[in-house]
Structure 1
Amino acid sequence: MPPEKPPQIPKRAMDSSFKEEEHPRASNGEFTKGNTEKPTEYRYNEKKRRYRDLSHEPMITKINPSGVNKFPEQVFKNLAKAKNHYEKHKTKLLEAGIHSYEEYLQSTKMTIESAVGGEIRGHANSQKQIIRYNTKINLFVKGNPDIGVFTSFVPDEEPGKHYSGVLEEDLKNGGSR
């Protein structure tokens, strides 16, 4: 049996584009999994047995329950679902004066980004979702600035009743104005 070689210290890379500080090593010199300085950028998926890079996921924006909240230019996260949502509520939207899909997107964005006051009522629920209700056109909108709008529709109830019910429930469950 040949004699065992002594353990060798890993050699440092000499490539000019390689930055040692960006590639952390364990005390034994081996590379570690993920960046130890930013542990929140990776989440371990037990099922797939690998780390998932979270750097592409949205940051958590501080929401303003009664102020202006900036939403993505593409106000709905999924435009195909938004189109289906528009078709589902089209009759009520026409009654509210919203005559096209483009007007629907525009009215939704204007309502959800508006500060509370005048014709806009609003609050935030305990799940960090912004809720806005446009009394002029009877449009109810709910969303999160990091994700986009979840729903936008004209309620079947008399104007303001749906929003009042949602507000009451949200405030009971930790929402804020």
Structure 2
Amino acid sequence: MLFSFRVKFYPADPFRLTNQGRTMLYQQLKRDLRHGRIYCSVGEAAALGSLIVQEELGDYNEEIHVENYVASMNLALRQTESLERKIIELHKKREPRQNPSEVVNEFLSIVSSLETYGIDPHPVKDHRGSQLYIGINYTGISTFICGKRSQHFRWNEVQKINFEGKMFIAHLSYTDASREA
């Protein structure tokens, strides 16, 4: 019997964590990428994948890393041959003898700058019946359409949250100046 216990933790600034904390966050985010909880472009997914390959396999070596050596690695939810080729291309270009903690820091830098960092998106429909995703993180409530943030409501704008049946209602209070920020 195997039990698994996970705590999701997405700090606003991952570089304020200890080395061990950053390593644990890296493992969590690597899993999020693998399970499709991090929405990003193909280019960003390739960059993140190349960092994972660098951290796990080390420097590119043409004698060891033959053909599609990343095919057996579960790096992303929708891992295609095209994505794997981009990951290999970026892995080949990586600076040799890079310290694993530098690789982890670079990974964290990229992933923490994404709009979906720390958000577990949930499918919902708006008042018109259009499909979108909603998620929360340390900055507020966000909605996403086709993987891109369409709206963001900061926590200081949210006055009240209600659930009525299947409806989620966020009551907002904001000025024009706060919406421009």
Band of TM-score, shorter chain: under 0.3
Structure-1-length-normalised TM-score = 0.24
Q: Which has the greater radius of gyration?
A: 1
Instruction: Report the TM-score, using the length of structure 2 for normalisation.
Output: 0.23
